[in-house]
Amino acid sequence: MKKGINIKYRIFNVIGKLKIKESQELVTMIKGFGGIFWRTKNLDVVKKWYSEVLKIEIDNWNGTVVKPQLGNETIFSFFAENDSYFPTEQQVMLNFQVHNLNETIKH
């Protein structure tokens, strides 16, 4: 279920809250995490540990979708250490859900 959407923008590291003015109110640009991803040297052992210890069932695509609220989902996923899905010099990738992607990219 790995989605093939190729977004050419890498959303920035965020410390604190970014805000935009919308309908005379300040709203946080970040709605939530779109996914949490990290690399591992031993994919099968890590998947087994998360399944047995935390009861998070990892699907065949090495991840699972966590749905804490209606309309808001977070993907929890592992990648092999040499997977090219995100830069190999990075061990962790955080994706943010935003209200307005174009406005967020401007910042």
Please answer whether residues 46 and 40 qualify as being in contact, where contact means their C-beta atoms are separated by less than 8 angstroms. Answer: yes
CA distances from 23 to 29, 31, 101 (A): 14, 17, 17
List the alpha helices (DSSP H) in 7-107.
43-53, 101-106
User: Percent of the chain beyond pLDDT 90?
Assistant: 14
Parse the chain into domains and list their residue ranges. Answer: 32-96
- pLDDT at position 42 is 92
- pLDDT at position 74 is 77
Cα–Cα dist 7/29, whole Å = 18
Query: Could you read off the pLDDT of 5-38 as tens digits, one per residue?
Result: 333 333 333 334 444 444 445 566 777 778 888 8
